[in-house]
Amino acid sequence: MKGHGFLSYLSGAGAAEPLSAARAQLRRVGVLLNLGEQDPESKAYIAAFLKQLEELGWRVGGNLQVDYRWTGGDAGRVHQHATELIALAPDVILAADGSHIGPLQQVTHTVPIVFVQVTDPIGAGLVKSFARPGGNITGFSNLSELEISGKWLELLKHFAPRTTRTAVLRDPSVTWAPNWPVPLVLARSLGVVVSPLDSGFDLGSGYAQHIEDAITEFAEKPNGALIVLPTAFAITYRELIISLAARHRLPTIYPSRYFVAEGGLMSYGPDVVDQYQYAASYVNHVLKGKKFALLPVQLSTKVTLAINLKTARSLDLTVPETLLAKADEVIE
């Protein structure tokens, strides 16, 4: 299921080159991530990022210091952590998730920010265009929900052929995202009625009860399935969402493989490790004093499919051999 990586950037930004004496002094990188520090996915992302930086001549404890802040998907922490990182005077910041960019923009318009895991950075108002982002921000963008959601729906129908109803769990606080990411023409051709699952959520209080009520109500009728969109909201409440999907026996597709590692049925989405490796080349570009403004936003076209066989068995679902053959990761 893997795609072709990133659209090629040909300026040689990631090429390794010896550091001059003038550039050998300690440089500082800030990192703002949307998972927890002990999350296995966070560790994999950071390991890939640091490994690539080391190959480019940067070593933590040598000529590089990295300062981390972890939000764990909690939007309430983002502004505080953004302020703390800028106060440390980093040369460049690596930020995951579009919800982190706004708070960073509020505290700096000069420190270069390299983002990963951002969907539709133009629609979110983060950059002017892919080729000429403008300002102090560029990075690596996911395929939009509009581009990938048809595949989510097809995979659900292939995995659970009896599906006639699919709910989409969105983040109601994200107002710039497309109003409806699932192609309704495709849904009709597959015999599936698609509906949102965020109506009536109270943004002034915790989401947990609203999520539970909405999923429980949706699951009262048969032949239902669930699509979870890639948002910080989903990350924060992933344990609850996964447990509710299991309790109500809802076939569910998630945007990232870590949902599957924690018990979700399947995921289809961008190869995030790949994005962190490429992000290291942009960070290297900044640290070596090259022009940040020349770096375009690149689109991640490499996607992966993960399947949890144990969860499939618990739902009495038989995984089609064609899906197993295409899967990048199968969890027993």
- 8 A C-beta contact, residue 165 and residue 221: yes
Q: In the prediction, which pLDDT does 63 show?
A: 96
Identity (one letter) of the amino acid at 23?
A: R
The mean of the pLDDT values for the chain is 86
Q: How many CA atoms lie within 13 A of 80 on its CB side?
A: 6
Q: How many other CB atoms are found less than 10 A from the CB of residue 324?
A: 12
Instruction: Please give the structure tokens belonging to residue 275.
Output: 């994005």
Cα–Cα distance for residue pair 279/282, rounded to 1 Å? 5
| Residue that has been written with the tokens 């983060």 in this structure | 126
Mean pLDDT computed over 126-138: 92
Q: Do strands 329-331 and 303-308 pair parallel, antiparallel, or not at all (unpaired)? A: parallel
Split at pLDDT 50, 70, 90, the class of 172 is: low
Look at residue 67 and give its three-state secondary structure. Answer: strand
Q: For residue range 263-310, what is the model confidence (pLDDT) as tens digits?
A: 999 999 988 899 999 999 999 999 999 889 889 999 988 899 999 999
Mean pLDDT computed over 51-63: 96
Comparing C-alpha atoms, which of 20, 13, 43 is closest to residue 31?
A: 43
Comparing C-alpha atoms, which of 106, 107, 100 is closest to residue 121?
A: 100
- Comma-separated ranges of CATH 3.40.50.2300 domains in the chain: 21-143+270-302, 145-269+305-331
Q: For residue range 10-30, what is the model confidence (pLDDT) as tens digits?
A: 344 444 444 444 445 899 999
Q: Do strands 303-308 and 266-270 pair parallel, antiparallel, or not at all (unpaired)? A: antiparallel
21-143+270-302 belongs to which homologous superfamily? Answer: Response regulator (3.40.50.2300)
Q: Which CATH number fits domain 145-269+305-331: 3.60.40.10, 3.40.640.10, 2.40.50.100, 3.40.50.2300?
A: 3.40.50.2300
- Pick the most confident of 72-86, 171-185, 246-260: 246-260
Instruction: Please give the structure tokens belonging to residue 3.
Output: 């795609």
Cα–Cα distance for residue pair 309/302, rounded to 1 Å? 23
Backbone angles phi, psi at 283, to 5 degrees: -60, -45
Mean pLDDT computed over 70-93: 92
DSSP state of 75: G
Backbone angles phi, psi at 246, to 5 degrees: -70, -45
